[in-house]
Amino acid sequence: MSRTDAVTRILFESFSAAEVRLFYLLGYGAIAVFCYGVYVQIRKYRRGAALRLEGGVWARFGAMLRSVLSHRTIARRDAAAGGAHRLIFYGFVLLFAGTATITLEYDILEPLFGIRFWHGGFYLIFSLILDLAGVALIAGLLFMMYRRGWLRLPKLDYARPDRVPGDPDFDRPQYRREDWAFLWILLIIGATGFVLEGARLVWLQGRPEVWDTRWWSPIGALLAQGMRAMGLTEQGGAVLRHGLWWFHGLIALLLIALIPFTKVKHIFTAAASLMVRDPLAAQRLPRVPESQVEAGAAKITDFNWKQLLNLDACTKCGRCHEACPARAVGAPLSPRDVILSLREFAHATLESGVVPAAAELDIHGKGPGQVAMETLWSCRTCMACVEICPVAVEHVPIIVQMRRKLVEDGAMDPLLTKTLQTIHKTGNSFGESKRKRGAWSKALPFPVKDARKEPVDVLWFVGDYASFDPRNQKVSQVFASLLQEAGVDFGILYDGESNAGNDVRRVGEEGLYEVLATANVNAMSSASFKSVVTTDPHSFNTIRNEYPDFGGKFEIEHYTTLAKRLFTEGRLKVTNPLKYRVTFHDPCHLGRFNKGYDAPRDLLALLGCELVEMGRCKANSFCCGAGGGRIWVPDPVGAEKPAQNRMKEAASIAGLEVYVVSCPKDLTMFEDALKTTGNEGKFVVKELIELIREAVPARRTDEVAA
C-alpha cells in the first residue's frame, strides 16, 4: 500500500470501546429527539384542513430544487444576504454530505459488504473540498453576524406595527436570541472542526501518510503549523483533539436534535413550502366549498395543512415587511407579523397531544398570537408580500380567508358594509342605476355596439370605474374612439355587465363575489365574441384567473397588449411623437399579478416618450392603496396614504413631466395624491390611453366616416 493510499479519515482512533458506545448512544438519542420533533410538526400540519394539490409531485420537486440550488428567491432584492446564505447553504450541505459519506462507509458499506472508499486520493480531494466548504460556511456566518449586528436593517427589526411597546409580543427578543444562538452554534461547529483538524495533525505528525498530505486540508494544516509554533506537542495535540472531538460532536448532535424545535427547521419547512407553492396564490383565491358551513378562517384549524406549513417556513427575513405598502405608511399591518403571530398560535395550540376546545382556537382578536381586525383590514392584497417571499409563504389567501370570517360577522368599516350592500343592489359600487352603465358611450359620435344583441370581434369588459367615474369615463371615451379608428369591431354588455368582483372577493365577501362572477359569466357566455379586452387590471385579473372556476373560460387581454398590436399591425400610427419625460406605475393587478410589465413600456417607447423608472417598479411596484376593497374605505386622517408615498417617489425624478398609469383606480388615487402632496403643476398624472390619443391625433370626422 502506497503512502497516499494509506491516508484515511481518523475516526474513533484512541477512543475506548465505552466511549464509542456512548457516542453512538448519544447519536441515536439525538436522532430520536429529531424524529419525535418531526412527528409533532407533521401532526400539527395534519390538524389543519385537507387540501388536494394540483400538479405532479416530481414537477413540484424539480421546481423546488431549482429554487433552492440557484438561491434565486433568496438573492432577490438582497444580493448580499443571498450570497452569504449561498455560502452557508453550500458549505453546510457539503459538510453534511461529507459526514454522511463517512457514515455510509463506516456504518453500512464496510461492515456489510467490506467496501471501503474513504481513503487515498478520494479522501484527499474530499478533505480539500470540505475544508473549502468550512471556509464558505464560516465566511457566510460571519457576514450574517455583521449584517445582524452592525447593519441594523429595518427589515430585521422585530418590533411590530400592530402592537405597542409594553405588549408581551411587541418586539419578541426571544427571536433575536434564537437568531444569534443559531449563528453561533453553526460558527462554533465550523470553527471547532478546523481546530480539531489542526490538533489531529499535530497529534499524528509522526505518521508520514498524515503529515505529508496535510496541505490537502489547508486550513487544518495552517492551524497545525500555528499550534506547533506555539509549542503544542504530539501528546498535547492528542488531548486537545480528544476533548474537541467530543465538544464538536456533542454540539453537532445537539443541533440535529433541535432542528424540529427551532428556526433550524426552515431547512425542511422552507423547502417543503417551495414545493407546495401555488403560482396563482393571490391571483386566484380559493373557493368556499358548498358543504363548508363557516365561510372563512375563524380557528387555526380552519387553515389547511399547507398554510400551517407556510407559517413554519417563514425565516423572518423581513422582505414582505419591507415591501408592504400598508406597513410603509404606518398601518398596523406587517405580513411578516401576521404569519409569525399565527405560527406562535399554532405552536401554542396544535403541538400538544390533544387539540384544545374550539373556543381556544379562535385566531381573531388582540391576544397573543391572534390577529386584530384592524390588521386584516389594512391589507390591500397587492401581493407584494407573496411575490417577494423567498420561501413561498402565501400571505394573501390567509388574510382574505380571515377577512371572510370578519365579513360573516359584519366586523368591518360601516362604509364598506354600505358599499357591499350597494353592489349587491345595483351591481356597481357607485350606487348608480344598472341602466346607466353604458351611458358614457352616448357622448361618442358613433354608437357602441351592444354585444348582447350582435356579434363582435372584441368584447370590451368596461368595469365599474371606467363606466361610472366621470374622470375615467373620459378615458373610456378616448379608448372607444381609438378602437373605432383602428377598425376594431368591438362592443360592450351595457347593463348586462356587473362589477367584476375582483375586489369584492379580496374584501372577503365570497358570497357576493359568487353572485357577481356568475352573473358576468352568464352575460358574457350569451354574447358572441372572439376575445375580451379591458382597461381595468382588476377586472382583467379576476376574469383571467378566477372566472374559469365559475365556468367562464375567456381569452382576455389588458388594453396595453391590444394597443401595442394595433401599432405593430399599422392600424394605429404615431403622427405626433411625444417627447415627454415620463415614469410608469405598474398596476398591481397588471404587473405583479399577471406579469404585464412589457406592453405598457413598449407603448411608451412607440409614442416617443423617455421612460425613467422609479426605484420601485415592475415586480416591486408600490401599490396605490386602492386594492383589496380599500378604495371604498377612507384611509385614516393625518397618516400618509400609500399613493402619497408613491407620489413623493415620483417627484424625486428630475424633470418628470407625466406620471403614467394604466388602471382606472390608479388614475383616481394618484390624481388625488398629486394634489395632496403639493405636486400639482409640477407634473401630471395621465392614463396611457390619453398619451396614445395625443400621439395619434383623431382623424377628421369625414375620414372616420370613410
Partner 1 sequence: MKILVAVKQVAALDEDFEMRDDGRDVEPDFLLRDLNEWDDFSLEEAVKIKEAPPAPAPAPAPVEVVVVSVGADEVDESLRKCLAKGADRALRVWDAAIEGSDSIAIARVLAAVAKREAPDMLFAGVQSSDQSFASTGIATAAFLGWPHAAVVSNLSYAPGAKSAVFRRELEGGLLHEVEIQCPAVLTIQLGINTPRYASLRSIKQAAAKPIEVLSLADLGLGSADVGEAGSLSRVRRMYVPDKGRAQLIAGDVAQQAARLAEIIKEFKGAAA
Query: How many residues can be counted in the chain?
Result: 706
Q: What are phi and psi of 600, to 5 degrees?
A: -60, -35
Q: Which is nearer to partner 1, 196 or 512 (CB)?
A: 512
d(CA 336, CA 317) in angstroms, rounded, equals 9
Residue 632 C-beta: closest distance to partner 1, Å: 13
- HSE, side-chain direction, 13 A CA sphere, residue 678: 1
Cell of 200: 489531529
Residue 407 C-beta: closest distance to partner 1, Å: 5
Q: Which of 513, 595, 589 is nearest to 549 (CA)?
A: 513
Give the x-and-dash track for 492-511 against partner 1 (CB under 8 A). Answer: -----------------xxx
Q: Is 315 within 8 Å of 422 (Cβ atoms)?
A: no
Label each residue of 24-66 as H, E or C: HHHHHHHHHHHHHHHHHHHHHHHCCECCCCCCCHHHHHHHHHH
Q: Is 424 one of the binding residues for partner 1 (CB under 8 A)?
A: yes
- Choose, by CB under 8 A, the member of 399, 420, 480, 521 that binds partner 1: 420
d(CA 262, CA 40) in angstroms, rounded, equals 13
Question: What H or E segment, with its residue span, contains residue 484?
Answer: helix 470-485
d(CA 168, CA 165) in angstroms, rounded, equals 8
Residue 512 C-beta: closest distance to partner 1, Å: 4
- Say what the alpha-carbon torsion angle 403, 407, 409, 412 is, to the nearest 10 degrees: 90
Residue 510 C-beta: closest distance to partner 1, Å: 6
d(CA 303, CA 311) in angstroms, rounded, equals 10
Given the rule CB under 8 A, which of 34-42, 405-413, 519-527, 599-607 is the region that contacts partner 1? Answer: 405-413
Q: Is 425 one of the binding residues for partner 1 (CB under 8 A)?
A: yes
Q: Is 522 one of the binding residues for partner 1 (CB under 8 A)?
A: no
d(CA 462, CA 432) in angstroms, rounded, equals 15
Q: Is 4 one of the binding residues for partner 1 (CB under 8 A)?
A: no
Burial 207-228 (b: 16+ CB within 10 A, else e): eebbeebbebbebbbbbbeebb
Q: Which is nearer to partner 1, 408 or 635 (CB)?
A: 408
- Choose, by CB under 8 A, the member of 178, 362, 457, 514 that binds partner 1: 514
Q: Is 546 one of the binding residues for partner 1 (CB under 8 A)?
A: no
Given the rule CB under 8 A, which of 327-335, 347-355, 411-419, 464-472 is the region that contacts partner 1? Answer: 411-419
d(CA 382, CA 282) in angstroms, rounded, equals 9
Q: Is 435 one of the binding residues for partner 1 (CB under 8 A)?
A: yes
Residue 605 C-beta: closest distance to partner 1, Å: 44
Residue 306 C-beta: closest distance to partner 1, Å: 24
Q: Is 608 within 8 Å of 695 (Cβ atoms)?
A: yes
Residue 633 C-beta: closest distance to partner 1, Å: 14
Given the rule CB under 8 A, which of 393-401, 432-440, 577-585, 631-639 is the region that contacts partner 1? Answer: 432-440
Given the rule CB under 8 A, which of 307-315, 409-417, 590-598, 606-614 is the region that contacts partner 1? Answer: 409-417
Residue 417 C-beta: closest distance to partner 1, Å: 4
- Choose, by CB under 8 A, the member of 512, 556, 563, 606 that binds partner 1: 512
Given the rule CB under 8 A, which of 226-234, 239-247, 433-441, 655-663 is the region that contacts partner 1? Answer: 433-441
DSSP string, 90-105: HHHHHHHHHHHHHHII
Crossing angle of helices 234-258 and 17-46, in 10° steps, is 20
Residue 424 C-beta: closest distance to partner 1, Å: 7
Q: Which is nearer to partner 1, 432 or 635 (CB)?
A: 432
Q: Which of 501, 521, 528 is nearest to 628 (CA)?
A: 501
Q: Which of 361, 381, 378 is nearest to 369 (CA)?
A: 361
Residue 410 C-beta: closest distance to partner 1, Å: 4
Q: Is 438 within 8 Å of 641 (Cβ atoms)?
A: no
Please give the distance of CA 636 from its chain centroid, rounded to a whole number: 27
Residue 585 C-beta: closest distance to partner 1, Å: 33
Count of residues in contact with partner 1, rule CB under 8 A:
24
Given the rule CB under 8 A, which of 370-378, 414-422, 528-536, 561-569 is the region that contacts partner 1? Answer: 414-422
Q: Which of 12, 487, 446 is nearest to 242 (CA)?
A: 12
In the range 438-477, which residues lie near partner 1 by CB under 8 A?
none
Residue 420 C-beta: closest distance to partner 1, Å: 7
- Choose, by CB under 8 A, the member of 183, 412, 451, 656 that binds partner 1: 412
| Residue 84 one-letter amino acid | A
Q: Is 426 one of the binding residues for partner 1 (CB under 8 A)?
A: yes
Cβ neighbour number for residue 80 with a 10 Å cutoff:
13
Q: Which is nearer to partner 1, 493 or 688 (CB)?
A: 493
Residues 6+ apart with CB under 8 A from 682: 651, 656
Q: Which is nearer to partner 1, 99 or 421 (CB)?
A: 421
Given the rule CB under 8 A, which of 144-152, 230-238, 417-425, 566-574 is the region that contacts partner 1? Answer: 417-425
Residue 402 C-beta: closest distance to partner 1, Å: 15
- Choose, by CB under 8 A, the member of 75, 124, 267, 295 that binds partner 1: 295
Q: Is 417 one of the binding residues for partner 1 (CB under 8 A)?
A: yes
Task: Give 285's DSSP letter.
Answer: P
Q: What are phi and psi of 582, to 5 degrees?
A: -125, 165
Cell of 414: 360601516
- Choose, by CB under 8 A, the member of 10, 238, 271, 515 that binds partner 1: 515
Residues binding partner 1 (CB under 8 A): 288, 295, 407-408, 410, 412, 414, 417, 420-421, 424-426, 432-436, 509-512, 514-515
